[in-house]
Structure 1
Amino acid sequence: MISLAFGIYILLSAVILGMLYRQSPREWLLRMVVVTVFPVIGWLFPLFWPRRLFKDAGGKLDDYIAAQQKEMSVQHLGIYSKLETEKELNVLSIEEALLVSEHSTRRKVMIDVLKQDAINYLEILQTAVSNEDTETSHYAVSAIMEVKRKLTLSLQELSVQYENNKEDVHVLSAYADVLKGYLRSGFLDDRTLRKYKFIYLGVLERYTGIAENACEAFVDKVDLELELKRYAEAEETCRVFEQRYSHIEEVYLCYLKVYFTIKSAEKLQHTFSKLKKSPLKLSNHALTLVRFWSEGA
């Protein structure tokens, strides 16, 4: 008797859900699983509640989430790629996919990278070269060789343009971008790397001097000067940066980076005090860095 009643219940449930969700077999299957595993009670789950019951609360929740997403601007370490939703429900990092996924998934990830601008994934590609899957490794090597070819051609072309016109903002911007990519490519020996760092520094010097929107270039210039141990020049770049853009967080972050690197506790604390008195509302990323430097101080 119980089996018969359960069978009738399943049949009726299938018919009712089929009528309600005939346009979406996936929705039908999901709800059938629920009402089968939880007979009768399953129909009371929120999954079956009318959407209008959530209209007001849902709207407020959406507004809240949107506000939080706008407020929280966290920079993640590593590069992320969203796989097809029907195959994967979560956003997987490429690094993790190359380490723990099956060979077929690794190959798909590499193919997806190859379809995009591979220069943005150089660190990932360099890691993938030593992957145990030979096909994945082959994709990575091919991508790196193609990046190297493009960078070399662009570098040659732009270096000529730069020598012919060192005051053209567009040439300076393009040349700086190519040099930045070339320096982090891993293709250079130490001596050549140092040579191109000074070339890059010269380009940034000119670009920050004439470009109207050179905020990112100032940050790159400070980072490069610190790499080259040109600490006095890095501090001077911060001063010029502050004169040009006095009300952005990047100025304070550059100062803090310089003073933390040279271990100047007095100047570090002075910059912290200025930052606290400023009207700036720091991003989450900036707050993380400030806490780190504050603990270091």
Structure 2
Amino acid sequence: MNSTLIFIGIYALLCILYFVYLKKAVKETNNIIFHMITVICIPIFGFVLVSLMDYFIQVMRADETDYSYYIGEKKYEDLHYLKPLNKQKEIDKVSIEEALNLNSNTYKRQMVMDTLSSDNVLDYIDVLKKALGNTDSETVHYATAVIMETQRKLVDSLLKLRRAYQQDMDNRYAITNYEEALSNTIFCGVFDENNLAKYYEWYKELTDKLLKEEWALERFFDNRIKLDFILGDFRHAKETCEQFKKQNPYSELMVNRYIEYCINTQDKKLLNQFMEELKGLPVKLTQETLQYIHLFN
């Protein structure tokens, strides 16, 4: 009899202590009542039972997918991950690429979707492509959606500017806008090679005409040479480098592209000739380019 009373007294004390713990750890009153009824009605094993139930509930919550905070009312169950992002502050704190390595799928998804509202989504294309290989299927889905939306916007803008150019092919404003959109589409990294073939031909056709103009901008030469490198058309790349040098002998960009051509074709003789010729060109070089040149002297 005495041992029974002692057991009841000790167990009652444990229940009181457990109640105090629940008051601090659990916010919902219903959960507190449920836990207390369980441990009181099922002595000893009640503690084991509620512990197991709490564990499985936490596991289920960690795995459940809830995207409702992206639209309408946001949920704030986890303020660190679900609060509206101060984009620049968050990107400065943890880069998107680093975010992809975090354990929180919610945070990864939000960071990927947040690139849509960035000033320039193209800055994050490499990271978005990396996200396509993420283990979380929803992160992959979001990254795919962002890339496809970026592709759509680029093509829509390009076609609009192409029509404006075709309506007035002598309008420099229309020409430069079209060239910029077309080169951006080609070099931004959003499209794969299969989708770029048409744009390659458009750019070759455009620059074949533009590079003959006295007012041709440096970027026209630069982008055409880069495209020639991609296509493996080194003969045309050399011709364009020579034309670039003749028309813009003061261009540091020309110097970089010419050296790049010599390296890509492993033409050491031409490189040495250009280095000698460079001494007589009226080009002013930055320290970065000078360091590059010193590698070959």
> TM-score by structure 2 length?
0.58
The structural deviation recorded for 1:101 is 7.0
Asked if 2 retains the 8 angstrom alpha-carbon contact of 1:94 and 1:109, the reply is: yes
Counterpart residue type for residue 137 of structure 1:
V
The aligned residue for residue 274 of structure 1 is 277
Structure 2's unaligned 5+ residue stretches are: 1-85
Inter-partner Cα distance in structure 1 for 2:210 and 2:204: 10
Inter-partner Cα distance in structure 2 for 1:168 and 1:138: 42
The verdict on how the C-alpha distance between 1:94 and 1:283 changes in structure 2, with shifts beyond 3 A counting, is: farther
Q: 2:165 aligns with which of 162, 165, 170?
A: 162
Deviations 1:144-189 (CA, angstroms, capped at 9, x unpaired)? 1211221222233233233322222222222223323333445455
The aligned residue for residue 224 of structure 1 is 227
The aligned residue for residue 101 of structure 2 is 99
SS at match of 2:235: helix
The structural deviation recorded for 1:253 is 1.1
Query: Is 1:202 matched with 2:205?
Result: yes
Structure 1's unaligned 5+ residue stretches are: 1-80
Inter-partner Cα distance in structure 2 for 1:118 and 1:177: 17
Inter-partner Cα distance in structure 2 for 1:227 and 1:167: 28
The aligned residue for residue 156 of structure 2 is 153
When the two chains are superposed, the root-mean-square deviation of aligned CA atoms in Å is 3.3
Inter-partner Cα distance in structure 2 for 1:247 and 1:156: 34
Q: 1:174 aligns with which of 167, 174, 177?
A: 177
Asked if 1 retains the 8 angstrom alpha-carbon contact of 2:250 and 2:284, the reply is: no
Q: What does residue range 241-260 of structure 1 map to in structure 2 within 5 Å?
A: 241-260=244-263
* Runs of 4+ residues deviating >6 angstroms: none
> TM-score by structure 1 length?
0.58
Inter-partner Cα distance in structure 2 for 1:131 and 1:265: 43
Counterpart residue type for residue 205 of structure 1:
D
Q: Indicate the percent of aligned positions where both proteins have the same amino acid.
A: 26
Deviations 1:66-115 (CA, angstroms, capped at 9, x unpaired)? xxxxxxxxxxxxxxx9842xx68x66544333235754553453244211
SS at match of 1:99: coil
The structural deviation recorded for 1:258 is 1.4
Q: Which structure has the higher relative contact order (CA within 8 Å, separation 6+)?
A: 1
Asked if 1 retains the 8 angstrom alpha-carbon contact of 2:147 and 2:190, the reply is: no
The verdict on how the C-alpha distance between 1:228 and 1:187 changes in structure 2, with shifts beyond 3 A counting, is: closer
Asked if 2 retains the 8 angstrom alpha-carbon contact of 1:169 and 1:207, the reply is: no
Q: What does residue range 10-25 of structure 1 map to in structure 2 within 5 Å?
A: none
SS at match of 2:266: coil
Q: Work out the number of aligned pairs and report it.
A: 210
280-289 or 174-183: bigger deviation:
280-289
Counterpart residue type for residue 235 of structure 1:
K
Inter-partner Cα distance in structure 1 for 2:287 and 2:107: 33
Deviations 1:228-269 (CA, angstroms, capped at 9, x unpaired)? 232232222122222332122111111111122222111111
Inter-partner Cα distance in structure 2 for 1:277 and 1:99: 52
Counterpart residue type for residue 139 of structure 1:
Y
Inter-partner Cα distance in structure 1 for 2:137 and 2:176: 38
Deviations 1:1-26 (CA, angstroms, capped at 9, x unpaired)? xxxxxxxxxxxxxxxxxxxxxxxxxx
SS at match of 2:276: helix
Asked if 1 retains the 8 angstrom alpha-carbon contact of 2:157 and 2:181, the reply is: yes
